[in-house]
Structure 1
Amino acid sequence: MILTLMKNMWKANLKYIFVLHFLGVYFLYLCTYRYNYLSTHYLLYFPKCDFK
C-alpha cells in the first residue's frame, strides 16, 4: 500500500521534477555563457553564479 502511494506521488511530482530540472539547466546555461545578451540583466538577480 505504501509503495503504490509512493508511486502515485512520484507520478504526480514528475512534471514538477522535469520543470525544476529544466530551470536548473537554463540557469546553468545563463551562468556559463555570460556573454549572452541576458547576462548583464541576470547578473543583478543571480550573484551566486561564478562569472569568470
Structure 2
Amino acid sequence: MVSPIVEAMATQAARHPANGPRYSVGGELLRERGNLPRRTRMEEAALSSRWRS
C-alpha cells in the first residue's frame, strides 16, 4: 500500500526541486521512491506499528 500523502509529497518534490532539497521530508521520500511507486521507510514503519485506523 502506497500512502497518498507520501505520493503527493514525492510528486511535489519531483515537480519542483526547491520543495524537496536533500534531507527534507519531501526530498528523502522522493529519493527513497526513485522512479517507482514503492513503499518508503516511513510507510513501512507505519504499517508495522501497533496503531491501526
Give the structure-1-normalised TM-score: 0.36
Give the structure-2-normalised TM-score: 0.36
Q: Which has the higher helix share?
A: 1
Highest CA radius of gyration, 1 or 2?
A: 1
Higher RCO by CA contacts (8 Å cutoff, separation 6 or greater): 2
